[in-house]
Structure 1
Amino acid sequence: MKIASIKTFVVEIPFHDGGKAKTITPMTWHTLENVLVRVEDERGNVGWGEAFGYFVADSVKAMIDRLITPLAVEQTITDIAAWNLDTQVRLHIFGRYGVTMFGLSGVDMALWDLQAKREGLPLHRLLGGGTRAAIPAYASLVRYGEGSIAPKVCERALSEGFKHIKLHENVVGEVAQCRRAIGHDVPLATDVNCSWSINATREWLPTLAELELAWLEEPIFPPEDFQALASLRGQGVSISAGENWCTAVQFEEALRQGAVDSIQPSVTKVGGISECMRIADLAAQYDTLVLPHSPYFGPGLLASLHLAAVQPGVPLVEYHYVETDGWLYDIKGLLHDGLMQVPTAAGLGLEMNMNVFEQFRRS
C-alpha cells in the first residue's frame, strides 16, 4: 500500500472518577489527551492509530509530524513490521523511549488498521486468526487516596458486572479496606506506580499475601531495575510491570532476568502493534502472562482487544473505570457482564464518532 498522507490530531476529553483529584501524575489528571493518527492510502482508505499523549501530546504530535511522517508518506509499505524496525533504526538517535516510541506506536497502529481494512478483515484475523470472541476486563480504578471512596467504587464496579478489580492505592491499609469491602472471592490487584522502596515492598509483601492480592504492579523505582524486581518474586504475591518499558529488547531482558510474573506492554507506548506482537512471542517463549496496559478509550483499546484475541497468554484487558464527557467509539457497547467483545468489522472494527472527535479536537 502506498501512503498518501499522515495527519495527527490532539483530542482532549474530560473524565470524572468520583474522587477528589488525587493523582499519580506530576499534575492533576482529569483529561484524556489522545494523539490520534490518520493515515490515508492512494485509494482513499483510512486507518486510525493512537499514540500515548497524556501530558505530552504536543511533543508526541511534533515527533510524528516532523520525523516519522516523512519516513512513510509516498512510501509503499508491504510489510508493516519491517517498516517499523527500519524506522526504529532511523530514529534511534532520538532515544528508544518516550515520545519517539509513543509516536511510532500511533503510526504503526494506523498502518495495521489501514492494511486490515484494505483486506476486508478484522485486525485480529490479519494478525493470525484469533478464536476469542470476548476478553474478560478488569475495572482499573484511579488513585483516590481516601479510605472511604475506593471501597465504594469497588462495590459499584462489581454491581456493573466486573469480576476483577485493580486499585492504584499505594497505602496498604487502603488496599485492605477494599479487600474487606468486596471479600476474598474477587481478584484484587493494585498498581503503586513505582512509589515504594525495595525495603518497604519486602516489608509489606506478607500483608499483601494475606490480602490475596492478584498482583502487585510497578512496586519500585526505577521500573527497569529487573534484578530488584526479580528479588521480590516468590513471596506470595505476583509481581507485574511493563507499562513504562519500551521495545521488545527491553521486555526480552526483563524476561531473561525473571523480573516479573506478568508483563504489561502498552500498545500506544512500546512501538505499536508490530512491537506488541514481538513481545507476545517473547512472552510465549518464557511462559509469562501478558496483562496489556490500556487506560484509554481510543484506537489503543481496540488494538489491545485484537491483540488479546490472538494471544492465549492474555487473561484480562484493562478497562479505565471512569466516566468521560464523550466517547470516540462505542466502547460501552462492547462491554457486557465484565467481558469486552472483540470487534469483528474490518480493521479496528468500530467507526469513530466524528461528532465527538470534532467537539473535543484541539483547534
Structure 2
Amino acid sequence: MKIAHIEVIEAAIPFDDGGSGLGITPGRWDSLEFVLVRVETDTGLVGWGECFAYSCRAAVAAAARGMVAPLLQGRELPATPEALTLELQRRLHLFGRYGITMFAISGFDIALWDIAAKSQDKPLHALLGGARRSEMPAYASLVRYGDAELVQKYCREAVAQGYRYIKLHEIEPDILRAGRAASGPGIGLSVDVNCAWSTEQARERIAVLREVDAMWVEEPVFPPEDIRTQAQLNSTFPLGAGENACTRHEFARMLEAGAVRFAQPSVIKVGGVTEFVAVAALAEAQGVSVMPHSPYFGPGYFATLQLGAGLAGEPLFEHLYVKPAADLAEGGTPLPVRGVVRIPQVPGHGFVPDAQVLARYRI
C-alpha cells in the first residue's frame, strides 16, 4: 500500500466564547484555525490528520506542503507508522525539532495512524493496545475572560450542564476565587496560567491555589521549558505542563526532573500519535498522570479520544468551552453529555470532515 495523493487544507471556523477574545493569543481569538492533512493510498483508503495552527496557520501549512509532504509522496506504508514518522524527524531536524516543523509532522502522523487502523478495520485504540474505557469524563476548559462576572456565569453554566470538572485560564486571585465560588466545592477545578506569572508571583499564589482547592496549576511561569523552576514549584503544589513540549525527549527531561505531576501532551503538537504514545509510556513508568491537552475540534479531538481510551489512571478530556459556528465533523463531533464524552468505536480515529462545512470555511 502506497501513498498516492496528499492534500493540505486550510480552514477557519468562527466561534463565540461570550468574552472579548483577548488575553492569550497575539490578537483577538475568535476563530478555530485548521491545517488538515488528507492522505490517500493507492488502495483508496483515506487518512485525516491535523497540525496545530492557532495563530500560525499559514506557516504550518507551508511547512506541511513544502517540507513534509514531498518526503511522503509515493512512499510504501508499513503496518504502523512509527518508523516513517521518526524518519521524517531525522530528515527535518535541521529546520527545528520543535514548533512549526513538529506541528506539521504531527498532522501527517495522525493521518498515517488513521490509515493504519482503517486498513485493519479497527478503531485506533485497538491498534494501540486496547482500551481501558469507552468514555472519558471531560472538563470544561474556559477561555481567559479576565472578568469575575463572566467567569462565574460560565462556571455556573458548565456545572448546570453536568460538568464535574472545570479549567480556568485566569491569573488574578480574585477571579480564581470567583470561579471557585460559582463552581461550588464538589467540582474539580484546575488553573492554566499560560506562563503569565513570574517565579515570585507563582510562589506567592500557591496559597491562593490551595485556597480554591485547585487540582493542579498549569504552566505557571515563563518560559515553559524552565523545568528547574517547574520542579521547585511542583515540590510544593501539583503542577501540569506539556502543551508546549514536543517529542518524548522533552517530556523525559521534564519527568526526570520531577517537574510535573500531570503530563499534558498535545497530539497535534508533540509529534502525533507516535510521540504521544511514547510520552504516555514514560509517564506511566514514572507514576505521573497524563492529562491530554486537546482544545481542538478536528482530527486532533478524535485522536485524543482514541489515545485517552488506553491511558492509565483516571485521565480527563479537555473540551474547549466555546460555541463554533459549525461542526467540522461529518455526523457531528462526539461532544460531552452530562460531562462525559464517548470514544468512537469505528475504524480509524473516527474523524471525517463534513464536505459542505469544509467547503464553506476553507481558505
Conserved in 2, the CA contact under 8 Å of 1:47 and 1:111? yes
Report the Cα distance in structure 1 between the residues aligned to 2:132 and 2:203, rounded to whole angstroms: 40
Where 1:148 maps in the other structure, the secondary structure is helix
Note if 1:274 corresponds to 2:274: yes
Change (3 A) 1:64 1:351: closer
Corresponding residue of 2:302: 302
Residue equivalent to 1:225: 226
1:336 counterpart residue number? 337
Question: 2 CA distance for matches of 1:350 and 1:9?
Answer: 15
Give the whole-Å Cα distance in 1 for the aligned partners of 2:338 and 2:347. 25
Partner of 1:87: 88
Q: Tell me which residue corresponds to 2:207.
A: 206
Moved more, 255-264 or 342-351: 342-351
- Aligned residue in 2 for 1:40: 40
2:360 equivalent in structure 1: 359
State the SS of the aligned residue for 1:20. coil
Task: Give 1:126 deviation, angstroms.
Answer: 1.0
CA distance in 1 between counterparts of 2:333 and 2:278 reads: 29
Would the aligned equivalents of 1:45 and 1:114 in 2 still touch at CA under 8 Å? yes
Which one-letter code corresponds to 1:354 in the other structure? A
For the residues of structure 1 that align with 2:272 and 2:150, how far apart are their CA atoms?
35
Are 1:259 and 2:259 matched, yes or no? yes
Deviation at 1:352, TM superposition (A): 2.2
Distance 1:62 1:82 in 2: 24
Instruction: Work out the percentage of aligned pairs sharing the same amino acid.
Output: 45
Q: Are 2:35 and 2:51, in contact at CA under 8 Å, matched by a contact in 1? A: yes
Q: Write the letter of the residue equivalent to 2:296.
A: Y
Q: How does 1:341-352 map to 2 (within 5 A)?
A: 341-352=342-353
Q: Tell me how far 1:57 sits from its aligned partner.
A: 0.9
Shift in Å at residue 207 of structure 1? 2.0
| Residue 117 of structure 1: how far off its partner (Å) | 1.2
* Structure 2 residue 236 is matched with structure 1 residue 240: no
Equivalent residue, structure 2, for 1:7: 7
Q: 2:168 is matched with which residue?
A: 167
**Is residue 2:121 matched to residue 1:120?**
yes
Report the equivalent of 1:188. 189
Local SS of the residue matching 1:102? helix
Which residue of structure 2 aligns with residue 30 of structure 1?
A: 30
**C-alpha spacing 1:132/1:168, structure 2 compared with 1 (3 Å):** same
- Shift of the alpha carbon at 1:116? 1.0
Q: Contact 1:295–1:318 (CA<8 Å) still a contact in 2?
A: yes
Q: What is residue 286 of structure 1 aligned with on the other side?
A: 286
Q: For the residues of structure 1 that align with 2:36 and 2:124, how far apart are their CA atoms?
A: 18
Distance 2:307 2:332 in 1: 16
Aligned AA (1:154): C
With normalisation by structure 2, the TM-score equals 0.97
**In the alignment, structure 1 residue 158 sits paired with structure 2 residue 147:** no
Whole-angstrom CA distance in 2 between matches of 1:217 and 1:5: 40
2:21 aligned partner: 21
Q: How many residues align?
A: 361
User: 1:331: how far off?
Assistant: 5.0
C-alpha distance in 2 between matches for 1:168 and 1:126: 35
Contact 1:2 1:77 in 2 (8 A): yes
Change (3 A) 1:314 1:267: farther
Please report how far the alpha carbon of residue 322 of structure 1 lies from its aligned counterpart in structure 2 after TM superposition. Answer: 0.2
Assess if the C-alpha contact under 8 Å between 1:7 and 1:37 holds in 2.
yes
Aligned-partner residue type, residue 222 of structure 1: P
Residue of structure 1 in register with 2:66 after alignment: 66
| Cα distance in 1 for residues equivalent to 2:103 and 2:224 | 18
> Residue 164 of structure 2 contacts residue 186 of structure 2 at CA under 8 Å; is this kept in 1?
no
CA 166–331 in structure 1, closer or farther in 2 if over 3 Å, else same: farther
Between 1:326-335 and 1:99-108, the stretch displaced more is 326-335
**1:308–1:314: 8 Å Cα contact kept in structure 2?**
no
Measure, in 1, the Cα distance between the counterparts of 2:176 and 2:335. Answer: 29
Contact 2:242–2:251 (Cα < 8 Å) also in 1: yes
Instruction: Give the Å deviation of 1:133.
Output: 0.6
Deviations along 1:122-145, one digit per CA (max 9) or x if unpaired, are 111111111311011100000000
Aligned-partner SS, 1:215: strand
Query: Secondary structure of the equivalent of 2:191?
Result: strand
Q: Give the counterpart letter for 1:166 in structure 2.
A: K
CA distance in 2, matches of 1:228, 1:199: 11
**C-alpha separation in 2, matches of 1:331 and 1:163:** 23
CA distance in 2, matches of 1:187, 1:234: 21
Q: Distance in 2 between matches of 1:249 and 1:110?
A: 22
Q: Which residue of 1 aligns with 2:325?
A: 325
1:208 CA drift (Å): 1.3
Match of 2:310, as an amino acid? Answer: V
Q: Decide whether aligned partners of structure 1 residues 326 and 212 sit closer, same or farther in structure 2, where only a CA change above 3 A counts.
A: same
Change (3 A) 1:333 1:308: closer
Instruction: Determine the C-alpha separation between the residues in 2 that align with 1:131 and 1:245.
Output: 26
Paired residue type of 1:91: L
